[in-house]
Amino acid sequence: MAMTEAALMGVDLGTSSAKVVIIDEDGNVLAQASSKYPISTPAPNWAEQDPESWWSAVKEAIRAALNILGPRRILAVGFSGQMHGTVILGKDFKPLRPAIIWADSRSERQCRKIYELVGKKRVLEIACNRAMPGFMAPSLLWIRENEPEIFKKIHQILLPKDYIRFRLTDSIATDYSDASSTLLFNVRDRRWSRELISAIGLEEEYFPEVRESVEIVGEVSDKAAEETGLKPGTLVATGGGDSPVGAVGCGLIEPGAVSSNIGSAGQVFTTVDEPKVDPRYRINTFCHASPGKWCIQGSILSAGLALSWFIEGLGFKELLKDGDAYEVLLREAESIKPGSNGLIFLPYLIGERSPHMDPYARGVFLGLTLTHGRQHIVRSIMEGVTYALRDCLEIFKELGVKVERIIARGGGSRSRLWRQIQADIFNARVSTVRVREEAAFGAALLAGVGAGVYRDLHEAVERAVRIEETVDPDPDHVKVYERYYLEIYRKLYPALRDYFRLIADILQRSHD
């Protein structure tokens, strides 16, 4: 393919925005654009999004990127998307209700119900993961129990990025990485589990065919071409979940390095050759977007989300009108010494996944005094998120994963301060890659493999992925963080766990 004429597009359907990256075969970014959409919280613990708002944002971002690109032709499009979410379609293939997304925590009771229906041991054997709110299986069971008329009308069930690809191509499919995050999939055997699906009252036929992330599964339809500006017949690859595809964008397709992702949520991620499952199920085991591979992942629910809550939710964005609020506050936080003058933050603002798997966990500031200002709070949030990611890394080490090199990705990787905090708390060298929109970039590489630009993902990574910057841990900082982490942070959640549940009980009674 002569890349002076053609290019590859990656589309990442994130939690707050759709991002589009267009690259050439050597990984050079030719154009990029994004478009935002909101999260709806119509009731406590709910998190929903309108699939139509996704499609509108994707169309807008694609058009904007194409306007920057100019006359080059897009050869193929690949996808990445937020994982776990539930999109249900009727016979007309239109959504029956808003999508329930990963951040939703309404279905804690349904998680227990799934264990009752199938047996906890059996669920863990098949799915390789605990039942947690926000996963597709408990969300579907919640719909069955609370919206039975809608549940009866279900004709097709899709994950978020698969709905957008359907709108682009009129073809329905999913991939192994995204399917394995539903709690309805046999992760070891890489197939839908009829046993788990039937337990919530559905048929296997409601779920799409599962394909490798690099496979071409459709072409841009005439209607979608008119709406997006893409050419009819443009090849479209399956794509995958945002965490595995982001790992592809960092070059993590074989065992070795670990990635640390700080987006709205946060993950630590590594590739494994066969399913490796934590005996205590504190982290997740999924199929990888890299064909024939699996991955293990520790996930925290509030990473960048915690920082945006403080900066935007508490009004600093409006208060600091003379500059970018994030830039101002992060610059202030750089002046604070490691440990934030004794202020420690637990980032459990919407519950927690790894390692505690506790939807009742809540955020905590410990050690507040009159000496603390907003700059201490911002730094303590960044440190608290990184401590939480280290909790996950410690489990990796228990499972025999060597943490020798870490690739920082997501929005947090753009902050010099946050990169240094990660290096110091992890006590490891932390690198970044040249293209920071790793999920959209990884999606473009998947499309390139599907279209034959690259023989396989190994060639794609070798040609396109480049390390840009490396940060080494500061030995003095490491000593400070070790004390805070080992002597205080790790002991806080066990000490507060019962109080989190008590708060939830009191709130529930006040709402009844």
Hey, where are the domains in the chain?
A: 6-250
pLDDT above 80: residue 211: yes
How far, in Å, CA of 22 to CA of 77, rounded?
A: 9
pLDDT above 50: residue 4: no
Q: Give pLDDT tens digits for 99-154.
A: 999 999 999 999 999 999 999 999 999 999 999 999 999 999 999 999 999 999 99
How many DSSP H helices and E strands does the chain contain? 19, 24
User: What is the rounded average pLDDT of the residues 254-270?
Assistant: 92
The whole-number pLDDT of residue 9 equals 98
pLDDT above 60: residue 254: yes
The whole-number pLDDT of residue 71 equals 83
- pTM: predicted TM-score of the whole model, two decimal places: 0.91
- Neighbouring residues of 493: CB distance < 8 A, sequence distance ≥ 6: 346, 348, 356, 358, 361
The whole-number pLDDT of residue 6 equals 78
**Catalytic status, residue 498:** no
**Selected catalytic residue, list 104, 242, 391, 424:** 242
Confidence tier at 29 by pLDDT (50, 70, 90): very high
The whole-number pLDDT of residue 1 equals 41
The whole-number pLDDT of residue 2 equals 40
How far, in Å, CA of 46 to CA of 98, rounded?
A: 11
The whole-number pLDDT of residue 410 equals 87
Residues composing the chain: 512
User: What is the rounded average pLDDT of the residues 253-280?
Assistant: 93
Q: Which of 84-88, 158-162, 420-424, 508-512 has the lowest mean pLDDT?
A: 508-512
Share of the chain above pLDDT 70, in %: 98
Confidence tier at 5 by pLDDT (50, 70, 90): low
User: What is the rounded average pLDDT of the residues 147-169?
Assistant: 98
User: What is the rounded average pLDDT of the residues 49-71?
Assistant: 96
SS in 3 state form for 172-222?
A: CCEEHHHHCCCCCEECCCCEECHHHHHHCCCCHHHCCCEECCCCEEEECCH
- Neighbouring residues of 158: CB distance < 8 A, sequence distance ≥ 6: 87, 88, 89, 166, 172, 174, 208
244 prior amide bond cis, ω within 30: no
Confidence tier at 436 by pLDDT (50, 70, 90): confident
User: What is the rounded average pLDDT of the residues 148-176?
Assistant: 98
Decide if domain 6-250 falls under CATH 2.40.30.110.
Answer: no
Do 144 and 153 form a contact (C-beta atoms < 8 A)?
A: no
The whole-number pLDDT of residue 3 equals 41
- Neighbouring residues of 363: CB distance < 8 A, sequence distance ≥ 6: 302, 306, 345, 346, 347, 348, 349
